[in-house]
Homo-oligomer: A and B are copies of this chain.
Amino acid sequence: MSAPDPRLSINQATIRRADLRTALDVTRGAGVEAIGLWREPVNAVGLATATSMLADSGLRFTTHCRGGFFTVPDGDARRAAMDDNRAAIEETAALAAAGAPGSTAVLVLVAGGLPAGSRDISGARERVRDAIADLAPSAAAAGVTLAIEPLHPMYATDRCVVSTLGQALDIAADFDAAVVGAAVDTFHIFWDPDVLTQIARAGRDGRIATFQVCDWKTPLPADVLLSRHYPGEGVIDLAGLASAVVATGYEGDIEVEIFNAEIWADSPENVVQRTVDAFTAAVSPSLRRIPSGK
């Protein structure tokens, strides 16, 4: 058992069974300073109550999860998706304002997969770019940063057509870095031969909107969505990736977001403490940025 790293943020998905009240209490109770929230538990209590609960908790707010799912072609479904994303932007701004100093107004965007019956992944990717262009003015007005999250290519067709950090940065490059960045999640990008180059690029361009860590190991479970593990329990070179992120000058909070049926079956208290311990062992040693000498 260790004291929490001050940069650790618990992403609420890691304690998925917990409602907002429980998630805030357990996170704060463990001495963790920050939390990333999900829309469903926030909306279950209503935004006004959620912001009030968050303010009372004294926790920093790090990300709102999530918007996106806008690869459908033009029509009612796309309009509904865009309206929902604009609502998510407003929620993000309100939550960030309610969080403790150092909170960040970041909305994570998972693009969505191929529309039913489509094989046109290039077309779907173009619609992501169009959707970001559509949302950027609302995000800018609200002071929210949209974090395009590349997901592992095994999710490319059914969940997220944005598959690499380079691809996310290519989309983001059309926009102000304060408005559109990328989510850097070790699980999704560690395999990429180009990952260190793209992390450096993301940092240089000011596009690391959030940094998330968890681990990968095989065999994958039957539901590959649930294949994320505590940091250090798999084979990702977390030290190398965290060092690369820190080397860019990233000084923000770092979320642990885990989807895993066994972890979800554990109590939120246990999960948060295990996350604290795993983070301290596998990530914290890499966070000491070497001074530049100036």
A211 at the interface (CB under 8 A from B): no
Residue numbers of A with Cβ under 8 A of B are 114, 118-122, 125, 152-154, 156-158, 163-164, 166-167, 170, 190-193, 216-220, 222-224, 235-238
Given contacts A125-B193, A153-B192, A163-B192, 11 further A-B contacts (CB under 8 A): A114-B235, A119-B237, A122-B237, A154-B224, A156-B191, A157-B191, A157-B218, A163-B191, A163-B193, A220-B224, A222-B222
CB neighbours (8 Å) of A153 from chain B are 152-154, 191-192
Please report the C-alpha to C-alpha distance between residue A256 and residue B253 in the assembled complex, in whole angstroms. 47
Q: A164-B193, A191-B163, A193-B125 known; A120 and B237 CB under 8 Å?
A: yes
- Copies of this chain, tallied across the complex: 2
Q: What residue of chain B has the Cβ atom nearest to residue A193's Cβ?
A: B167
Q: What residue of chain B has the Cβ atom nearest to residue A225's Cβ?
A: B219
- A240 smallest CB distance to B (angstroms): 8
Which of A118, A154, A237 counts the most B-chain CB atoms under 10 A from its CB?
A154
Please report the C-alpha to C-alpha distance between residue A198 and residue B141 in the assembled complex, in whole angstroms. 40
